[in-house]
Structure 1
């Protein structure tokens, strides 16, 4: 399992979240266009300014080792090479999310979440608290297959709606092969531009 992005009490505002898509556009002499989407789903780019990090608890509100937690994760990932899980506090949990309808044969279903009028697969499910089939709670008979599949021992009946309560994270990589950690004063550091983006699991 990938490492987890640490909780950083010294994170500041504004935090940015940018959906990214890619489209190939072919223009014709008539002025018409042919457009082809290149990504099966949007990716998300995050920007997080961290105004306060402490290595030794000099500033209790920043935790006891927040500098080591962020610096350690970055070095562990070797910059843009490795991956980690980031939980967006505003987009990381759903309740009674409809996943699919059974067909009597399929036993594995991807976890999805609905965003406005869009339903898309989530990156990495971190916990499942309830599963229902046709409105009935199923305490057993299913398992979570990493990163994002709900697997049943027996295929749900045709037409039975499968739903779940679960939490999820974005599988991400850093965008830069270098981050500036600034030593502001004794016991106080900052990393004012931490950028990363989601990737397909």
Structure 2
């Protein structure tokens, strides 16, 4: 299981497909009553990408990038990370309770929240706009003797966690945004490319199996 990124190539067409699926065991009794058991909390996705053109030359171009990436993964053997077009931006809001300093990133899906397991890591101040650039001026919070320009930071790890240098105060909110990835593998052990013009190729179906978790 590697964290290498699927190459972003310019020939990607708009007819990208994504089909979420679950794993449910359904048992039916003689009278027709069903008993269902869910074996999967996070959906898997069948993803199909189409590349209208892949340039070929002696240098490193799109065909060599895509085919080389497939060969390095040994087909369906090794997994990788995919930055899904138009589906890779998280925007999470958390409310403090005075002691929690680690939060899980999530993706909003209507009324559901799907936990994210792969994200672009970074660290930043919790609220840099509250910092006072004039250290001679004191701004204190009541009798708590806590300056409003404290140096608290929030870091996002590559496994989808938000880690604060100090907990959010009770009722305090924090919003954070960034990039997340799908954990994917190639669906099959073979890949087809079509040469439709001199040094121009296309790949009509690059089929992947993906998940927002690690169940691959």
3-state secondary structure, aligned to 1:10: coil
Tell me the equivalent position of 1:114: 108
Q: What TM-score, normalized to structure 2?
A: 0.77
* Counterpart Cα distance in 1 of 2:182 and 2:193: 24
Deviation at 1:67, TM superposition (A): 0.7
Q: Deviations over 1:45-88 (max 9, x none)?
A: 21012221112299xxxxx6011111111111111111222112
| Gap change, CA 1:7 and 1:57, over 3 Å in 2 | farther
Tell me the equivalent position of 1:56: 57
Tell me the equivalent position of 1:40: 41
Unpaired segments ≥5 residues, structure 1: 59-63
Unpaired segments ≥5 residues, structure 2: 132-149
Deviation at 1:190, TM superposition (A): 1.6
Greater strand share, structure number: 1
* Counterpart Cα distance in 2 of 1:159 and 1:32: 46
CA RMSD of aligned residues (A): 2.8
Q: Between Structure 1 and Structure 2, how many residues are aligned?
A: 193
3-state secondary structure, aligned to 2:120: strand
Q: Which has the larger radius of gyration?
A: 2
Deviation at 1:132, TM superposition (A): 5.2
Q: What TM-score, normalized to structure 1?
A: 0.82
* Counterpart Cα distance in 2 of 1:40 and 1:180: 33
